[in-house]
Each structure stands twice: as structure tokens, then as C-alpha cells.
Structure 1
């Protein structure tokens, strides 16, 4: 019999019925009806081509054929349990591997991860650049942050809105600072930089004004490094926490997402 065709549900029912020698008590253990237990046993008998139980005056009785495989069956279930425990052991790890754009890590994420890390001395973070597409499995990622229109094919949660703000330093000239993806760049910029975080730094240095995601400018505005000159346009893109469903459901990832959203 091919491994993919193993009747695992039927074998599980066989184990319970053999221990109790009662379809009713097996049904109670498995949270199904006695009729469902009987159907599973009959289907298993058809698959194996043997009779597993007989009804006698004393009650339900295992046949020699049914008893012959029980020890190996129960050993197999114990190995299944060990395999599940081994797979779940990874969830006890408190190391989180996160990919995020470098400017987002510098301007917003880093300080929040540091604060979150202080809540549990066992927490560890591995931070990767997230400016390119990353394979979650290949990079062993738990979570990624993207400037995007949505989570795409993954699970996700939006961080803040999609608003932008125009910021400038003291006595900044009325000149644009350009960066790839800037929603408000008309004509030639006085200076062009690699990302929105560097655009904020350029504005603080006095090069001009930068239109950047409002979330990214929060810390610099609060510190007085730049001032808010104007509201920028809404964009279809915002910052998203994303991960495939298995990673998203990890306890450590859910806790981190809740902390970042909070």
C-alpha cells in the first residue's frame, strides 16, 4: 500500500476501539457517533481485506488479524506524536527574522523593536533588508514589511495609513528632494537620494523639501529635526506587515504584530 493511501483515520479509530472494546466508548473518546466508528471500521476492513472485530455473547472482540498489527500501530502513533512535538518545538524559539526596507528600519521599526525586546530578555531579532523580493522559505523569514498596495498573496496588516507629509529643515529652500517612488516630484529635484529616509535626512540638512510617508517622518518631526510644511497626497501604497499563513499564525509573530500595531 502506498504511503499516501494509508487509511490514517480508520487506523486511529481501530486503536481507540481496540483499547475500549466498545464502539460507543471509542466514539466518546473521538467525539464522533458510534455509527461513525462502525463505518470507519467497516471501511478499514474493506481496505485491508480482513475482519478486525467480531461480536460475541461477551461483547466486542478483536480478531487475531486485528490484534496482529496493534503493537506496531501504537508505536507508529507514538512516533507521529514525537514528530509533531519536534515540529512545534520551533515555535518555542524567540528569534524573529524580519525583512524591511532599510529606511523603514532606521526611521520607525528599529526603535519599536528595541522597546519590544526589553519586554522579554530572551527575544532576539535578525533584521534583513527588504528592498527586493524575498523568498520566505529560502530566507527563513518570519515577517516582512513592504511599501505596497496590500498584502498580496500573504496574510497581512496595514501599519498606519497611506498619507504623506511634506517636510523641510529650518530655512529650507523651496526645492524638491527626489527619491524613487516619491508621490510629489515635479521637474528636476535639487538633490535625489536612494529612499524616503534619506530624503528626510536631506531635508534636515537644508537641501529642500521632501514628500515622504507620514509614518516614516514621525520621529524626525517629534524630535524637531524637520518641520511639517504641508500635507502630501494620499497614495495607493502604505506599509504592510506580511507573511505566509504558517508564519503569520506563529505565536511569536502574532505577538510582535500586536505590539507593532499597538
Structure 2
């Protein structure tokens, strides 16, 4: 018999009936009807090709075959229970591993992780994700990416804030002195007074009075050293929380995502 076709529910019913030697009492334990118990037992007997119970006038009696099989069956159920406990312990891990761009981690993510940790018994491991994320190579629970809607098979994403950009600088900044960085998306034309590696460094340069930077609204709102020098403009790229679809079933991942997106 193939392992994938094990009639586990019927075996559980058989175990209960064998312990009570009564379909009625087994039905009470399992919260079903005695007829349902009898049906499951008969179906199991058909699958196994052997009789499990001698039906007496007032009670049941195990057949020799059933007597021999029960110890191994009950040992198997104990192994199942241990497997479930191990899986539950893994879900209850106090460690969450994330990857995110360095500037995003420093300016937006870290303060929120600190606030979350104050109310939850959890420890974070955060790695850099400036060159993308490969879940097949990293032991990650969650990652933050910047770009358009994630379109990778097997990955699920949830957007953080709005996909919008805004020009920032000190109040008297010269709008002609542009600070560029990958993803800034400045309109064509014009020159740049400075080019840096990421939006975080662009904000630092703007705070220092070097010029104006075009950065994601989410980062701009987290920095008090600059002001918005115009209205936010919709953009194709934004910040996304991403993970392989099965990992979104983890309670610890769902709880953190809810806290970061509320």
C-alpha cells in the first residue's frame, strides 16, 4: 500500500474503537455518530482485506490480527504527535531573519523592528539585500525589495506604503543641484551635482545642503532633516515585503507583516 494512500482517519477511528471496544463510546470521543464509526471501520476492513472486530451481541472483540497491529499503530500515532510538536516548535521560533536594502533598514525598518521587539519576545537577524534576494540560497523568513510589483513564480509580495517619489532638500536648497542615485528616476535633461549609491545617501547629501534628491516617499517621511519641495509623484517602483508563498503561513511572519503594514 502506498504511503500517500494511508487511510489515516479510518485508522484513528479504529484506534478509538479498539480502546473502548464500543462504536458508541468511540463516536462520543470523536464527536461523530456510531454509524459513522461503523462505516469507517468497515471501509478500513475492506481496504486491508481483514476483519478487525468480532461483532458480539453486546460488545466488540478484537481479532488476533487487530491485536497484533495495534501496538505498532499506536506507536505510529505517537510519532505523528511528536512530528506535529516539532513543527509547532519551529513555528514558534523566537528568531526572524530578514533581508532589506541598507538605507531602508537604517532609516525606516530598524525603528519599527525595535518597537515591535519591545512588545514581543523575538530576536531579529537582518542582512543586506542591495543586490536582490535569493530565497533558495538564504535562510530568510522575509525580505524587503524596491521595484515594481514582484513577478517571480513562487513569491508573494505585500506593498509597504505608496509607490511614489518626492523631491526633498533643505528649505533653501537650489532645485537645479540634483543628487542622483539608482532608482531616482529624474526626468530626462539637466545634470547632476552628485551621484551616490542609494536613496539614503542622497538624503544625507540633501541634509548637508548639497542639493535636492528625488527619493521614495516612505524614506522621505522617516527623515526630519529635509522637507518635501513638491507633491509626491506616483512611481512604478515601491517597497515590497516578499517571501515564498508557503512562508506567509507562518504565524510569526504574518504578525510582523501586519505590524509593518498597519
Q: Aligned pair 1:23/2:26, yes or no? A: no
- What whole-Å deviation, never above 9, does each CA across 1:215-245 have from its counterpart, x for those lacking one? 111122xx2x212111242013322223334
Distance 1:49 1:132, change over 3 A: farther
- What whole-Å deviation, never above 9, does each CA across 1:35-67 have from its counterpart, x for those lacking one? 443333223222222111221112232211112
Alignment partner, residue 249 of structure 2: 249
Alignment partner, residue 48 of structure 1: 48
Alignment partner, residue 141 of structure 2: 142
Alignment partner, residue 163 of structure 2: 162
Distance 1:32 1:58, change over 3 A: closer
Distance 2:84 2:240 in 1: 32
Distance 2:10 2:136 in 1: 34
Contact in 2 for aligned 1:99/1:143 (Cα 8 Å): yes
Total equivalences in the alignment: 258
Q: Aligned pair 1:178/2:177, yes or no? A: no
Distance 1:180 1:33 in 2: 66
Runs of 4+ in 1 over 4 A off after TM superposition: none
Alignment partner, residue 193 of structure 1: 196
Task: Please list, as runs of the form range in 1=range in 2, the aligned pairs for 1:1-262 lying within 5 A after superposition.
Answer: 1-120=1-120, 122-136=121-135, 138-150=137-149, 152=151, 153-173=154-174, 174-187=176-189, 188-220=191-223, 223=224, 225-262=225-262
Any stretches of 5+ residues in structure 1 without a counterpart? none
Distance 1:39 1:149, change over 3 A: farther
Partner SS, residue 99 of structure 1: strand
Any stretches of 5+ residues in structure 2 without a counterpart? none
Distance 1:35 1:240, change over 3 A: farther
Please say which of residues 158-167 and 243-252 is displaced more in the overlay.
Answer: 243-252
Contact in 2 for aligned 1:165/1:213 (Cα 8 Å): yes
Partner SS, residue 254 of structure 1: helix
Contact in 2 for aligned 1:51/1:63 (Cα 8 Å): yes
What RMSD, in angstroms, separates the aligned Cα atoms of the two structures?
Answer: 2.3
